[in-house]
Amino acid sequence: MSRHVKSSKEVLAWISAQRRVTSISSVMIALLLMLLIGIMLYLVNLSIQGKDIPQQVTYLAPPSVEIDDDASQQKAKVQVARRPTPPGGGTPSKIISAVTTSPVAAPTMVEPVLDQSFGIDEGFGSDFGQGFGGGDFGNVPGGAGKRCNADDRLARLAATGGSQECETAVINALRYLTKSQSKEGFWGEKHRCGITGLALLAYLGHCETPGSEEFGDSVFNATVYLIDRAMKNEGRIFDDQKGPWCYEHAIATYALCESYLFSRSFGYHIPNLEKVVQGAVQWIIDSQNSVGSWGYQYQGGGRYDTSITAWHLQALKAAKATDLKFPKLQDAVTKGLKSLVDAQKPSGGFGYDLGRKDEGNLPLTGAGVLCLQQHNGQRDFDARKGIAHIAKNSRFDFKKSANLYEHYYVSQAAMNEGGAFWKSYNKMFRDQLISNQSPDGSWPNPPGNKHSAGTVYNTALATLMLEVYYRYLPGTGN
């Protein structure tokens, strides 16, 4: 009997202890739940506050769209709000239709690594005029998006061999382009889509968007003009289909791909831009010929054409950066690069096609090198062979012989190569190009500038050359 009572007391004590444990646990759980709810409310409050602070754009209203009675052409109208921004830079303030916000500033370009010297023992000596002695040039600071801030652009200019005069020349050139632009948004009497594409690339290279205080209208009108052409021509971008419109389509597609990336990064929307980019890039992919090249008017067969192919490969690199989906894009790039290498000579120079017995063509060598750098990286073996050929043979003397088409390519290839090669090339071309700019901001046609399409064409190419310090084509990565 005593054992039974003792046992009952032990059970009661155990039950009492369990109750205390349960009570303590309940209190702790309640406190944890209150803490969790507090954290969630805090995060929600932060999110609401963040939405009240515009990062890149301020939503005003979506654009109205009027449909042209002719075909499926659509033209966008825009409600504009402006706030003071630094000339040619700063945060975009003109809004088309805000769809997202992003702190990323136009991540179009993957910057090259300027930490390798090609080496003076590999043929870089006095043959190039200025010589290629010296050591490495150093690493470029910051991300590619820093071309979108005036202070960062100046820092990059200083770090990569540019100057304040480069920035002044670029702004004056963009002002010339704005003054010479037609009311419809295009430039040029012939090859309007190609010339307009080059001019648009020059604006984008300085991070000018439809929101820019000084150049916003020019950027927007040029973009809409190219979109209108594409909508009217079922995705093909040309002004006159009888001419070499393959060039126009490739250059305009390149510009619109970069414009689309800016719109996504800054959070504005231009009607039909994505649709046109999707169709124009796919046209390029589907129109490649059997040897991986592209021909005049996109005829089939097996014709090599390094000049046309280079523009299409630049457009495809810009298309990659958009992150849109394009079936068989990489296959087209692989075949296109192979067609370029097929046309490379033992000297390292690139030829126009396979049938000419020479050491290569300097403009096309620059084109071939740049495309290989863009898609394969700056250390590509065939690209570096081309660099050696350029270093031995290329010249830049604005008063005697300066082919701007050649140096549009070479300036970018040299920046991607870096090291002593870039340092000496920069010394050769920079000040000459700046000092020969006309008072109105344009560039005249120098001797040796073959295939020039006029003053706007010259000015766009020269501007892109002077933007190379901060506008890197994606020569490495991806």
The pLDDT tens digits of the residues spanning 287-311 come to 999 999 998 889 878 889 999 999 9
Report the C-alpha gap between 177 and 218 in whole angstroms.
Answer: 8
pLDDT for 122 equals 35
Q: 65-466 in CATH: which number?
A: 1.50.10.20
Q: Compute CA distances 346 → 21, 292, 343, 351, 370, whole Å.
A: 85, 21, 10, 11, 18
**pTM of the predicted model, to two decimals?**
0.74
> pLDDT band at residue 186, thresholds of 50, 70 and 90?
very high
Residue-level pLDDT at 9: 66
Work out the pLDDT band at 240, boundaries 50, 70, 90: confident
Instruction: Find the mean pLDDT for residues 57-61.
Output: 27
224 pLDDT band (50/70/90 cuts)? very high
> Of 40-49, 122-131, 207-216, 293-302, where does mean pLDDT reach its minimum?
122-131
How many whole angstroms separate alpha carbon 141 and alpha carbon 121? 28
Which pLDDT score, from 0 to 100, does residue 94 have? 43
Q: How far is CA 317 from the centre of its chain?
A: 9
Decide: helix, strand or coil at residue 350.
strand
Q: What are the residues whose beta carbons fall under 8 Å from the beta carbon of 260, sequence distance 6 or more?
A: 273, 274, 277, 322, 324
- Any idea which of 64-78, 128-142, 322-336, 386-400 has the lowest mean pLDDT? 128-142
Report the amino acid identity of residue 106: A
- Mean of the pLDDT values across residues 366-395? 93
Give a three-class secondary structure readout of 13-69. Answer: HHHHHHHHHHHHHHHHHHHHHHHHHHHHHHHHHHHHHHHCCCCCCCCCCCCCEEECC
Query: In the predicted model, is pLDDT for residue 409 greater than 50?
Result: yes
What is residue 14's predicted lDDT score, i.e. its pLDDT?
60
- 15 band by pLDDT with thresholds 50, 70 and 90: low
In this predicted structure, the answer to whether residue 132 has a pLDDT above a threshold of 70 is no
Give whole-number Cα distances, 286 to 46, 204, 301, 326, 332, in Å: 48, 27, 13, 10, 8
The residues with which 74 forms a beta bridge, in sequence order, are 67
pLDDT of residue 263: 93
Helix residue ranges, H only, 401-447: 404-417, 419-435
The domain ranges of the chain are 65-466
Rounded Cα distance, 98 and 61, in Å: 8
**For residue 250, what are its two tokens?**
């490739």
What are 444-456's pLDDT values in tens digits? 999 878 777 899 9
Binned at pLDDT 50, 70 and 90, residue 441 comes out as: very high
What pLDDT, on the 0 to 100 scale, is given for residue 26?
76
The residue type found at 202 is A
- For residues 250-282, b (16+ Cβ closer than 10 Å) or e, as one string? bbbbbbbbbbbbbbbbbbbbbbbbbebbbbbbb
Closest CA to 390 of 364, 371, 418: 364
d(CA 392, CA 387): 9
Q: Are 141 and 156 in contact (CB under 8 A)?
A: yes
Question: ∠ CA(324), CA(271), CA(84), 5° rounding?
Answer: 100
User: What residues form DSSP beta bridges with 76?
Assistant: 65
Q: Give me the sign of the Cα torsion angle 127, 130, 132, 134.
A: positive
* pLDDT at residue 6 is higher than 90: no
